[in-house]
Chain A
């Protein structure tokens, strides 16, 4: 059985009366990339900030290697590489200065790894942080998160601001990290973006994990959009018993996972004006089907 590195059990966070997260439980095994997907305000960042100890949980548990995560645990912090959704660093420093400053907190020489990452992300070491564009700042954030060779990576919207080439570079890097056994929590609001690198995805909505599955399983369900225009639409809805995506008078778009033969058999008795079957993006599937 694989070793569980990060485990959240019924994690709850309220800011006074307002909800941050309601009930978040998940497990991430060693060397696994977990896609933490959800729309804005769903509670992704709150979950991550609670794990990072920036905010205090209301209830629930956070386990790292099966041990309750204690407040300000230096040994755990050493193992974590964290990339916040918005990278904020000291504007007066140059890139080189912040990287060197970062190194002073770890009792080891990080020069080799730092140089590899700087080269990979084409970082200008002499630029001042305050002069960096959003994308370049993000790249510095990535180097900072990875240069001390952490075995846990917590990434909050890591690719926002990165151009497509850099996104690919970053995803390749994550896959290499995964090979090394690094455990990764990857938060994003775009499922299609993470589906190429994640082993498992969890969908968070209104502060709760509403669906968790492997990308393989989600794809295996083989959903399609089924668009039907018919005067018998109400009867068709009863017959097919499918989840409706959109509807407008006689026109309905279903999430369909019926096999073609089964579908034809069920529909042949109705008078259908128009029928269209289209592929569903993972995005739509997650956001709309599982909601």
Chain B
């Protein structure tokens, strides 16, 4: 069953990975042409217009966008977090629900396999692809940035795995939400909405100290990119919280799915 699941989800995995690679490849190819001494002056002028809070929200206060790696750490990383987040959300929301949506659940359920095993197979494949998209895309960035010559390897490696701290919980939360539904149509909006909601909360929390506390309501806080960029270390608390959320929601999914009416 795992083999079948890997095959079924491979196509969308490749598409998502291709979108990410194509987007970044384009930036890497044109970046040297955009960033000239002259344009840098213009960018510097432009930066002065933005309040420091906005620059902070995009990590632009702790890094410079004068190089491709600089762009990667700021705007680029925002895209990575969002796109890998959306991918894992969709994956979590659909991997189990697809069987009901396509009405193939009636067939699977008639086979001598327990519901728990169905979930286990799906969760394993979901986690494999969630990790794989981050790793393969990280590898692509590593090669690309290495070729551009400017790269802090340790910082890059640590930064590259931080999307996992967001995407694994997103996968599990969406998996859990999907156990309350019967059609894929509704979960897609929820998955997308959840990612943007968490992201917006995270951005807003950076804008003012008064609302900083709202960061505790966003999974994107777990990516902790500012800390990784500034201190070149991952806060173990973030890893623990991320794993805890993932484990809790996957466990809840097992419980709920075993009681679910598969209609």
Give A106 to B111 CA distance when docked, in angstroms. 8
Give A56 to B259 CA distance when docked, in angstroms. 8
Please, which residues of chain A bring their CB within 8 A of the CB of B4? 90, 101
* Main DSSP-derived SS at the A contact region: loop
Please, which residues of chain B bring their CB within 8 A of the CB of A114? none
Distance of A287 from chain B, by nearest CB (Å)? 27
Contact A72/B115 with A55-B262, A92-B8 known, Cβ cut-off 8 Å: yes
Distance of A112 from chain B, by nearest CB (Å)? 20
Please, which residues of chain B bring their CB within 8 A of the CB of A88? 102-104, 106-107
* Contact B107 A53, beta carbon cutoff 8 Å: no
Answer yes or no: A74 CB below 8 A from chain B CBs. yes
Answer yes or no: B263 CB below 8 A from chain A CBs. yes
Taking CB atoms and an 8 Å cut-off, the chain A residues in 14-70 that contact chain B are 15, 49, 52-56
Answer yes or no: A240 CB below 8 A from chain B CBs. no
Q: What 1/0 flags go to B96-120 for Cβ under 8 Å of A?
A: 0000001111110111111110000
What total of chain A residues lie within 8 Å of the partner, measured CB to CB?
Answer: 30
* Contact A78 B112, beta carbon cutoff 8 Å: yes
* Contact A55 B111, beta carbon cutoff 8 Å: no
Please, which residues of chain A bring their CB within 8 A of the CB of B102? 88, 90-91
One of A54, A74, A82, A89 near B113 (C-beta < 8 A):
A74
Give A280 to B1 CA distance when docked, in angstroms. 52
One of A56, A77, A92 near B110 (C-beta < 8 A):
A77
Distance of A93 from chain B, by nearest CB (Å)? 9
Please, which residues of chain B bring their CB within 8 A of the CB of A54? 105-106, 109, 261-263
Taking CB atoms and an 8 Å cut-off, the chain B residues in 104-140 that contact chain A are 104-107, 109-116
Taking CB atoms and an 8 Å cut-off, the chain B residues in 127-170 that contact chain A are none
Give A102 to B102 CA distance when docked, in angstroms. 18
Give A197 to B34 CA distance when docked, in angstroms. 79
Distance of B263 from chain A, by nearest CB (Å)? 6
Please, which residues of chain B bring their CB within 8 A of the CB of A106? 112
Closest chain A residue to B7, Cβ basis:
A92
Please, which residues of chain B bring their CB within 8 A of the CB of A72? 114-116, 258
Please, which residues of chain A bring their CB within 8 A of the CB of B262? 54-55
Give A89 to B102 CA distance when docked, in angstroms. 8
Give A182 to B99 CA distance when docked, in angstroms. 30
* Contact B112 A105, beta carbon cutoff 8 Å: yes
Distance of B229 from chain A, by nearest CB (Å)? 43
Please, which residues of chain B bring their CB within 8 A of the CB of A279? none
What total of chain B residues lie within 8 Å of the partner, measured CB to CB?
Answer: 22
Distance of B15 from chain A, by nearest CB (Å)? 15
Taking CB atoms and an 8 Å cut-off, the chain A residues in 72-110 that contact chain B are 72, 74-75, 77-78, 80, 82, 84, 86-92, 101-102, 104-106
Q: What 1/0 flags go to A118-153 for Cβ under 8 Å of B?
A: 000000000000000000000000001100000000
Please, which residues of chain B bring their CB within 8 A of the CB of A80? 110
Distance of A289 from chain B, by nearest CB (Å)? 34
* Contact B110 A82, beta carbon cutoff 8 Å: yes
* Contact A86 B103, beta carbon cutoff 8 Å: yes
* Contact A144 B107, beta carbon cutoff 8 Å: yes
Please, which residues of chain B bring their CB within 8 A of the CB of A102? 111
Please, which residues of chain B bring their CB within 8 A of the CB of A101? 4
Give A89 to B99 CA distance when docked, in angstroms. 10
Please, which residues of chain A bring their CB within 8 A of the CB of B104? 88-90
Please, which residues of chain A bring their CB within 8 A of the CB of B110? 52, 77, 80, 82, 84, 145
Distance of A39 from chain B, by nearest CB (Å)? 21
Give A105 to B110 CA distance when docked, in angstroms. 11
Closest chain A residue to B102, Cβ basis:
A88
Closest chain A residue to B103, Cβ basis:
A88
* Contact B109 A52, beta carbon cutoff 8 Å: yes
Distance of A25 from chain B, by nearest CB (Å)? 22
Give A54 to B109 CA distance when docked, in angstroms. 7
* Contact B106 A105, beta carbon cutoff 8 Å: no
Please, which residues of chain B bring their CB within 8 A of the CB of A75? 112
Give A193 to B114 CA distance when docked, in angstroms. 35
Please, which residues of chain A bring their CB within 8 A of the CB of B113? 74, 77, 105
Please, which residues of chain B bring their CB within 8 A of the CB of A52? 106, 109-110
Please, which residues of chain B bring their CB within 8 A of the CB of A90? 4, 8, 102, 104
Contact A89/B112 with A55-B261, A101-B4 known, Cβ cut-off 8 Å: no
Distance of A143 from chain B, by nearest CB (Å)? 13
Give A40 to B109 CA distance when docked, in angstroms. 24
Contact A77/B112 with A54-B261, A55-B263 known, Cβ cut-off 8 Å: yes
Distance of B114 from chain A, by nearest CB (Å)? 5
* A-B contacts, 11 listed (Cβ < 8 Å): A52-B110, A54-B105, A54-B261, A54-B263, A56-B259, A71-B258, A74-B113, A77-B113, A78-B112, A84-B106, A88-B102
B interface residues with partner A (beta carbon < 8 Å): 1, 4, 8, 102-107, 109-116, 258-259, 261-263
The 9 closest A-B pairs by CB, nearest first: A88-B103, A82-B110, A77-B112, A78-B112, A54-B262, A105-B111, A55-B261, A72-B114, A84-B106
If A49-B263, A84-B107, A104-B1 are given as contacts, then 4 extra A-B residue pairs at C-beta distance below 8 Å, sorted by A number, are A54-B263, A55-B261, A72-B258, A88-B103
